[in-house]
Amino acid sequence: AQSVAQPEDQVNVAEGNPLTVKCTYSVSGNPYLFWYVQYPNRGLQFLLKYITGDNLVKGSYGFEAEFNKSQTSFHLKKPSALVSDSALYFCAVRLRSNDYKLSFGAGTTVTVRA
């Protein structure tokens, strides 16, 4: 069964410092990977995705993620975090053969302090 794990429940960083949110996946075959962000009492917003091609994917709000097949990881990164980046972040994975469903990680709460 496909799965995705976010090993950290919470990440705390100071504004201006680099931000990393970790995600590892376990799928058979080539994964399609996604990152979403959720602000309090709101729906999820798409940040970026990896389907194929360049391992470094750039997305919205200055975020990027690196696909690492050997480590089965897809960590989300931002070089300089903002207080407004404080939110809940979800990693998701989908198998190419099943075009309907995304499997989400448990989420990581990011807090950026001023």
Partner 1 sequence: SQTIHQWPATLVQPVGSPLSLECTVEGTSNPNLYWYRQAAGRGLQLLFYSVGIGQISSEVPQNLSASRPQDRQFILSSKKLLLSDSGFYLCAWSIRGQGVTRSGYTFGSGTRLTVV
Q: Which residues bind partner 1 (CB under 8 A)?
A: 32, 34, 36, 41-46, 49, 51, 90, 94, 96, 99-107
Closest to partner 1 by CB, 42 or 58: 42
Give the nearer residue to partner 1 in terms of CB position, either 19 or 91: 91
Tell me how far, at minimum, the Cβ of 78 lies from partner 1, in Å.
19
Could you tell me the smallest distance in angstroms from the CB atom of residue 96 to partner 1?
7
Two structure tokens written together for 31? 């994964």
**Cβ proximity to partner 1, 13 vs 33, nearer residue:** 33
Distance, in Å, from the CA atom of 40 to the CA atom of 19, rounded to the nearest integer, reads: 20
Nearest approach, Cβ of 105 to partner 1 (angstroms)?
A: 6
Residue 50 to residues 7, 35, 85, Cα–Cα distance (Å): 20, 9, 21
105 CB neighbour count, 10 Å cutoff:
22
How many of the other CB atoms lie within 10 Å of CB of 76?
Answer: 26
